[in-house]
Chains A and B, each alone.
Chain A
C-alpha cells in the first residue's frame, strides 16, 4: 500500500515539476525506474479529468453508475492511445529534422508528460468560462510539449517548435479526417447499446425533437438546420 502512495506522490511531483517548468525534473525523471508507468499514469489522469470536464454530454444522455465509470476508463485509455499516436508521429518527424533520435520510448514518455496541464481538464465544467479554459489548457499542453521536445531532441527553440508544430498539425489532420468515421462508429455503438438514435447534445434539447414526433412543428426543423 505504501508503494502505491509513494508512486502517486511521485506522479504528483512530476506533474508539479512539469507545470512549473522545473528544469531539474528532466534529469531526475530520466533516471527514475518507473518513468513509463508515471508518464502513462499522468496521461490517464489527464484523460479522466478531460472527460469529467466534458461530462455534460454523459449527463444529458443519462449515463450513470457503472456505465459512467466504464466510459471514464475507456476515455482514459483512448486519451493515452491518442497521445501514443502523437508520440509516434513526433518520433518519425523529429529525427528527420535534427538527424538523431532519442528513441520511441523516450518520445512516448515525453509526450505523455506533456499532457500534465490536462489534469485540470475537469475545470472545463465551469459554467460559461469552461470552453475558454479548455483552449487555455490545450495551449499550455502544447507549450509543455515544445519544452519536452527541446530537451528530448537536444535542440534549439525554433527546431523544437517546428517538430511540435508538425506533430500537432498531423494530429489535427488525422482528427479532422477521422472525425466522421469515428463519430459514425460511436453512433452505431451507442445505438446498439441504448437503442437510441444518437448521443444527445444541448442543441438537441433546444430543438425539442426528443419530446415530440419528428414531423411536429416544422419551424423547429428549420431552427435546428
Chain B
C-alpha cells in the first residue's frame, strides 16, 4: 500500500516536472514570439521621442517568493518590506508582477486548473501551514528551474522581462531614459530576476538585483546585471542548494556568468545572520529578535534599504543567541 502510494507520488511529481515548461513554450509558440519581438524592440529603442519626465528617480520591482499565487497577493509577512521600499524617497515600487508565469497570469486566473488553485488558496487562508499550500510552492519552484534551464530559460525569461517592462511603463518609466531599475527577488523571485535581466539590460536600462535568500543559478543574465547583492542566512538550506545544484556556481567553475560577475566585483554576498529559508527564524520572521533588538524581519528590511541607499549593511554577528517574542 505504502509502496504504491510512493510510486503514485513519484509518477505525479515526474509528470508535473515534465509539463512544467509547457506553460512558457505554449505561450511562445502561439503569441509569445510576436509579443517578445515587440518588447525587445521597445527595450532597444534609442529615443522614442517621448520626453515626458518620469515621476520617480528609481524604480524597484519586487518579485515575490515561490509561495505567491498571483501578482496581487504578496504574502502578508512580506508586506512590511514592500512598505519600507515605498517609503524610500523618489522610489517607485512595482509589485504586481507574478514571476512564475510568462503572461503574468496568476494561478487562480483563467487557467485549466484555476479551480484547484482557488481551493488551495482557501485552504492556505484557513491554515497557512496546510500541506495543500505546498502545491503552490512546488508548482512555482518548477518554474524557477524552467527559468534556469538553458533550453527553456531564453523563452521564459523573455516573457517575464516583458511583464516587468509593461509594469514599469504603467508607472511612467521611460525605457530610453536610463533611470535605474532594481529587481528585488525573494527566494525563487531572485532567479527570475537575473533571468529577466538579460533582456532588460539589452538597451539603456541599468539593472541591479537584490536577492533575498535566492536560489540562484549561473544564469547568463548575470552578464547584464550592474550589481547583485545576494543577502543570505547562514541556516538557509535552499540558498545553499543553489550553490551546489548549479555547476556554474561551484568555486572552481571557469567561464561561468557567476564566476565572471564575481571576478568583476559585481556580486556582493552578504550573510545577514542565522536565518532559515522558511519555517521558523526566517528572513520575514517578526517574532524572533536578534541580540541588537531588531526582529529578523527588520534585519532583512534594513539590509535591503541599506544596499539601495548605499549604506553599510547591519548584520547579525555569527553565534549570537536569538530570542522569541509574541507576534
Q: CA–CA, A125 to B145, complex, Å?
A: 12
Q: Contact check, B40 vs A211: say whether CB atoms are below 8 A apart.
A: yes
Return the contact of A56 from the options B17, B142, B152, B158 (Cβ within 8 A): B152
Given contacts A127-B142, A205-B158, A208-B40, contact A56 B21 (CB under 8 A): yes
Q: Which of A129, A211, A217 contacts B37, CB < 8 Å? A: A211
A178 contacts B by Cβ under 8 Å: no
Residues in A whose Cβ lies below 8 Å from that of B21: 56, 125, 127
A203 nearest CB across to chain B (Å): 7
- Give the complex CA separation of A56 and B149 in angstroms: 11
Closest 5 pairs between A and B when the two form their complex, measured CB to CB: A205-B154, A59-B25, A127-B145, A202-B154, A211-B40
Contacts of A60 in B (CB 8 A): 25, 28-29, 155
What residues of chain A lie closer than 8 Å to B33, measured between beta carbons?
62
B224 to chain A, nearest CB (A): 10
Contacts of A59 in B (CB 8 A): 25-26, 28-29, 155
Which residue on chain B has the smallest CB distance to residue A52? B18
Q: List 22 A-B contacts (CB under 8 A).
A: A56-B151, A59-B26, A59-B155, A60-B29, A60-B155, A62-B28, A62-B29, A123-B14, A125-B18, A125-B19, A127-B20, A127-B142, A127-B148, A127-B149, A127-B152, A128-B149, A129-B17, A130-B149, A202-B152, A205-B158, A208-B44, A211-B40
Instruction: Name A's B-contacting residues (CB within 8 A).
Output: 55-56, 59-60, 62-64, 122-123, 125-130, 202-203, 205-206, 208, 210-212, 216-217, 223
Q: Are A123 and B41 in contact (CB under 8 A)?
A: no
Q: Which residues of B are at the interface with A, using a C-beta cutoff of 8 A?
A: 14, 17-21, 25-26, 28-30, 33, 36-37, 40-41, 44, 142, 145-146, 148-155, 158, 198-199, 202, 220, 223, 245
Given known A-B contacts A64-B29, A211-B41, A126 and B151 have beta carbons under 8 A apart:
no
Q: Bound complex: CA of A62 vs CA of B28, how far in Å? A: 7
Q: Which of A126, A130, A205, A208 contacts B155 (CB 8 A)?
A: A205
The chain A residue sitting closest to B150, CB to CB, is: A202
**B152 surroundings in chain A (CB, below 8 A):** 56, 127, 202
In the bound complex, residues from chain B placing their C-beta under 8 Å from that of A127 are 17, 20-21, 142, 145-146, 148-149, 152
Are B29 and A202 in contact, with the CB atoms below 8 A? no
Looking at chain B's contact residues, the main secondary structure is helix
**Closest residue to A64 on the B side, CB-wise?**
B29
- The CA-CA distance from A136 to B152 in the complex, in Å, is 21
Residues of the A chain whose Cβ atoms lie less than 8 Å from the Cβ of B28: 59-60, 62
Q: Which residues of B contact A130 (CB under 8 A)?
A: 149, 151
B159: shortest Cβ distance to chain A, in Å? 11
Closest to B145 in A: A127
Check B29–A217 contact: CB distance below 8 A. Answer: no
CA gap between A70 and B150 in the complex, in Å? 27
Q: Name the contact of B153 in the complex, choosing from A63, A123, A125, A202 (C-beta under 8 A).
A: A202
Q: How far is the CA of A130 from the CA of B30 in the complex (A)?
A: 24
A202 touches B155 (CB 8 A): yes
Shortest beta-carbon distance from B190 to chain A in Å:
16
Instruction: Identify 5 new A-B residue pairs, CB closer than 8 A, beyond the known A56-B151, A127-B17, A212-B44.
Output: A60-B28, A126-B18, A202-B150, A203-B154, A211-B40
A46 to B236, CA, bound (A): 41
A126 with B14, Cβ < 8 A, contacts A56-B152, A202-B151 known: yes
Contacts of B150 in A (CB 8 A): 202
Residues of A within 8 A of B145 (CB): 127-129
Q: What is the chain B residue whose CB lies nearest that of A62?
A: B29
Nearest B residue to A210 via CB reads: B37
- A220–B146 CA distance with the chains assembled, in angstroms: 24
Complexed CA–CA distance, A126 and B18 (Å): 4
Q: B149: which A residues are within 8 A, CB to CB?
A: 127-128, 130
Return the chain B residue nearest A200 by Cβ: B33
Residues of B within 8 A of A205 (CB): 154-155, 158
A205–B159 Cα distance when bound, in Å, is: 12
Contacts of A203 in B (CB 8 A): 154
A158–B45 Cα distance when bound, in Å, is 64
